Structure 1
Amino acid sequence: MRLNRRDLLRLSALGGGALALGPAFWKEAYAAPARPGPSPYGAMSGSPDANGVRLPAGFSSRIIAGSGRVVAGTGYTWHGAPDGGACFPLAAGGWVYASNSELFDGGGASAVRFDGGGAVVGAYRILANTLLNCAGGPTPWGTWLSCEEHSDGKVWECDPTRPSQGVARGALGTFPHEAVAVDPVGRRLYLTEDSGSGRFYRFTPSAWPSLTAGTLQAAKVTGDPVAGTATLSWVNCSASSPASSQSSVASKTTVFNGGEGCWYDSGVVYFTTKGDNRVWAHTPATRTLEVIYDDLSSTSPLTGVDNVTVARSGDLYVAEDGGNLEICIITPGPNRVVAPFIRLVGHDSSEITGPAFSPDGRRLYFSSQRGTTGMEDGGITFEVSGPFR
């Protein structure tokens, strides 16, 4: 048997008295980047359904909205180029799905409102007069953070529960923002930058949970994240420009090539980088950083990593920009498996965006940004329901 570097590290750890370190150690010591394997939901159907979606047995899809068309049952016309999204529970029952618009002319974000049974009961705009709103993230206090992806891009905080207009949060930085995730335990925000010379950022509010002021920092990696031995330290940076353009910061921080989706769940911040097709996991409590998926093989099922979300089961769902236009699942635990979950057929010039689960975990929302036409006005927003574990 040939031992790779990770195997040697595990054996070295065992030799150092690791048996006394408990369950947390074993999770880290035996975790490895996900490998192709069978999906917990079985194979996708051989043929797409009426909506052009290939699904595992027991799942079904419906179309919620289409760009340039009135959302059924409402008077609202859905935006073009739908991108990042998230769901929010409503105090009176039901939920809202917020969705960005990655348009240069128009941009912003909209929302669809559902009643407790999942019927669409409203749709409206929650952000206007912004540019190239790509991804973003939900906050624990119920707002949607919409990120602009251009050199002067900002993060806008929006109320998804009603027609409204967001507020720019300049303290979170001015750069090509992609996504943001909020750690309610550490009381910090983590942000990705969609640039070949991008950085991974964190923001510490001066007065939690206000986002009007705080400290912005960029990450420096020490160690090997593929081997699971890396840690992060943080360097203060100015919010007025990307860390890569700040001479006192650039040389002290690490490049993350093309930052994309970012999501917090159960003490871990997950994020993706499209330049090297990687999925990362950062645990703030221990400062550790690990690569949990690394596309090193032509047989890998997941390419073009993009938006990401986490199910109640701890399964990670990663949307593709390219590849086979799939949402792939990465299972948790030491023996991580990556496998296709659904595939869009006939959307070859599009990308999958905005995956997000309803609050009860039974419905998954996402969009095909340019649909079957390949045009910004061809976007389609879907719902998939079924026996999610």
Structure 2
Amino acid sequence: MSATRRQILSRTGASVAGIAFTGALSELFAGSAAAAGRRGGYGPLVPDPAGLLDLPAGFRYKVLSRQGEPLRSGEGLVPSNPDGMGAFAGRRGRVHLVRNHENRVTGKIGVPTVPGLTYDPAGKGGCTALELDGRNNVLGERVAIAGTAVNCAGGPTPWRTWLTCEETEDKAGTNGYTKDHGFIFEVDGADPHRTGAVPLTAMGRFQHEAIAIDPASGIVYETEDAFERPFGLFYRFLPNRPLGGTGSLRAGGALEAMRVPGVADLSVVQEAGTRFEGVEWVPVPDPLAAETPIRLQDFGPRGITHAQKLEGCYWGGRAVYFVSSFARVKDGSGATHFGQVWKYEPHRRRLTLVVVFGPDTDIQLPGESPDNICLAPSGGLMVCEDGDGAQHVFGVSERGEVYALARGRQNIGTTEAPEWGEFAGVTFSPDRETMYVNCYTPGTTFAVTGPWC
């Protein structure tokens, strides 16, 4: 097989990768600290003698946690498959890091069951919480919620808790589960027993991916990463007690799905800058999906708007941004693309396709299939790669330059056929001086410091 552009990039240590981007990249960085953004990356990646993580010169990493090691709480072993993650300020300069574990029922190290923190004893997913000092020394590591399933991503709340999302629709009696799954749970990394293991049922039961909260209105936006056609929907949840703090989302509210008039499938929109005015929000007939998955329910003669691989979601400025990692005609989408970022402005009821990722012909170029994303201190994005071959955390500047910030070096294949686990959960410390990121397989959590600005 001939070498791909991605393989060439990793071999040469190039710092900036050519990639086809269309759209206004500056749109993505609303609310970021740096106006101009970083140009050209931080230089070539330096091979790590320890064989864990390649970084540019001047950057260092610390391994915070690895799957299979004992939890410092003594509750069991560090679970497998670390995924979405959030970092929250604690007292005396400490950081509380809440980490999802995307475990299914078999094959991996599950989250240990703990009294008062376990939803369904048959569930192997959940969250763990690390407490760090100002130098990223681990002071504590414990179970934050257990007995959930396929905890993929989520998002932070304005009151410094984490909403962890189950990416499944399995019901009680399926795969050995004793309770229905497909919910969002609130997790307090500083005091997990304060939030417990209570599903936020009014926020819907579906294959959740990520959330973002409007800090002015308290409206929660939710993405659905459904695996089969018809694909997922983009939702908003109108809480009865908006911005009420920890536990307020248990007071219920209304769940609605986005309808773009005249557009049944977002994948058919191919030109960055395309705008749709008058976006509608349609009440979900049965948020608990007792008989029929939400995306298959009857939204009336005008239907509803679907999209494949709705994943990352974040709030910036006065808008919510959400990612469609890819779409493929062969999977049932209306068109093929290599990644989109959409922007919804609630005050204008306007939806805009901001950026189209990837090349037209070569899916091996960096930037294809963006997954977890976050704003970076330099005024750009950090994007976790979820594809084939070498796995990177890529930075994206406001000028559209893509550069490798980190490369995973833990070979989970063989010498003859190497493989590397994807990155997930990229996030920054409250002081913006540390990037935290997970290697999904083998489960490893890193703290990366360096000259970010």
TM-score normalised by L of structure 1? 0.82
- Of 356, 364, 377, the match for 1:293: 356
Alpha-carbon distance change, 301 to 43 in structure 1, aligned in 2, over 3 angstroms: farther
* Runs of 5+ consecutive residues of structure 1 not aligned to the other structure: 1-28, 372-378
- Of 272, 290, 295, the match for 1:227: 272
Alignment pair present for 1:269 and 2:292: no
Alpha-carbon distance change, 39 to 250 in structure 1, aligned in 2, over 3 angstroms: farther
1:317-348 CA-partner distances (Å, limit 9, x unpaired): 1111224311112223xx33333221112352
- Of 236, 240, 258, the match for 1:206: 240
Tell me, in whole angstroms, the C-alpha distance in 1 between the residues paired with 2:49 and 2:359. 32
1:16-50 CA-partner distances (Å, limit 9, x unpaired): xxxxxxxxxxxxx966899xxx9543333252352
Q: Residue 191 of structure 2 corresponds to which residue in structure 1?
A: 162
Superposed, 1:348-359 pairs within 5 Å as 348-359=419-430
Alpha-carbon distance change, 51 to 290 in structure 1, aligned in 2, over 3 angstroms: same
- What SS does structure 2 have at the residue aligned with 1:218? strand
Alignment pair present for 1:236 and 2:302: no
- Of 149, 158, 163, the match for 2:167: 149
Contact 2:81 2:101 in 1 (8 A): yes
Deviation, structure 1 residue 229: 2.8
- What SS does structure 1 have at the residue aligned with 2:352? strand
Contact 1:244 1:250 in 2 (8 A): no
Contact 1:53 1:344 in 2 (8 A): yes
Tell me, in whole angstroms, the C-alpha distance in 1 between the residues paired with 2:221 and 2:152. 16
- What SS does structure 2 have at the residue aligned with 1:244? helix
Deviation, structure 1 residue 353: 1.0
Tell me, in whole angstroms, the C-alpha distance in 2 between the residues paired with 1:99 and 1:110. 5
1:173-223 CA-partner distances (Å, limit 9, x unpaired): 100111111111232111111114111111111221222311211122358
Tell me, in whole angstroms, the C-alpha distance in 2 between the residues paired with 1:85 and 1:273. 19
Alpha-carbon distance change, 46 to 388 in structure 1, aligned in 2, over 3 angstroms: closer
Q: Residue 87 of structure 2 corresponds to which residue in structure 1?
A: 87
Contact 1:110 1:126 in 2 (8 A): yes
Alignment pair present for 1:339 and 2:408: no
Alignment pair present for 1:381 and 2:429: no
- Per mean C-alpha deviation after superposition, the further-off stretch among 227-236 and 76-85 is 227-236
Tell me, in whole angstroms, the C-alpha distance in 1 between the residues paired with 2:424 and 2:376. 16
Which residue type is aligned with residue 292 of structure 1? Answer: V
- Per mean C-alpha deviation after superposition, the further-off stretch among 306-315 and 44-53 is 44-53
- What SS does structure 2 have at the residue aligned with 1:211? helix
Tell me, in whole angstroms, the C-alpha distance in 2 between the residues paired with 1:45 and 1:220. 44
Which residue type is aligned with residue 288 of structure 2? Answer: S
Deviation, structure 1 residue 91: 3.2
Alpha-carbon distance change, 356 to 30 in structure 1, aligned in 2, over 3 angstroms: closer
Alpha-carbon distance change, 249 to 98 in structure 1, aligned in 2, over 3 angstroms: farther
Deviation, structure 1 residue 116: 2.5
Tell me, in whole angstroms, the C-alpha distance in 2 between the residues paired with 1:91 and 1:179. 27
Which residue type is aligned with residue 83 of structure 1? Answer: D
Tell me, in whole angstroms, the C-alpha distance in 2 between the residues paired with 1:329 and 1:249. 42
- What SS does structure 2 have at the residue aligned with 1:240? coil
The answer to which structure, 1 or 2, has the higher relative contact order (CA under 8 A, 6+ apart) is 2
Contact 1:235 1:249 in 2 (8 A): no
Instruction: Indicate the RMSD between aligned Cα atoms, in angstroms.
Output: 2.6
1:117-167 CA-partner distances (Å, limit 9, x unpaired): 322111111101111111111101111101011114000011111243332
Q: Residue 436 of structure 2 corresponds to which residue in structure 1?
A: 365
1:253-303 CA-partner distances (Å, limit 9, x unpaired): 211101112222333323222333324142333333223232234263112
Tell me, in whole angstroms, the C-alpha distance in 1 between the residues paired with 2:57 and 2:69. 30
Tell me, in whole angstroms, the C-alpha distance in 1 between the residues paired with 2:132 and 2:257. 38
Contact 1:33 1:336 in 2 (8 A): no
Alpha-carbon distance change, 31 to 130 in structure 1, aligned in 2, over 3 angstroms: closer
- What SS does structure 2 have at the residue aligned with 1:55? strand
Which residue type is aligned with residue 48 of structure 1? Answer: D
Tell me, in whole angstroms, the C-alpha distance in 1 between the residues paired with 2:217 and 2:49. 43
Q: Higher strand proportion, which one?
A: 1
Tell me, in whole angstroms, the C-alpha distance in 2 between the residues paired with 1:70 and 1:339. 36
- What SS does structure 1 have at the residue aligned with 2:202? helix
- What SS does structure 1 have at the residue aligned with 2:421? coil
Tell me, in whole angstroms, the C-alpha distance in 1 between the residues paired with 2:165 and 2:341. 20
Q: Percent identity?
A: 32
Contact 2:98 2:189 in 1 (8 A): yes
Which residue type is aligned with residue 190 of structure 2? Answer: T
- What SS does structure 2 have at the residue aligned with 1:350? coil
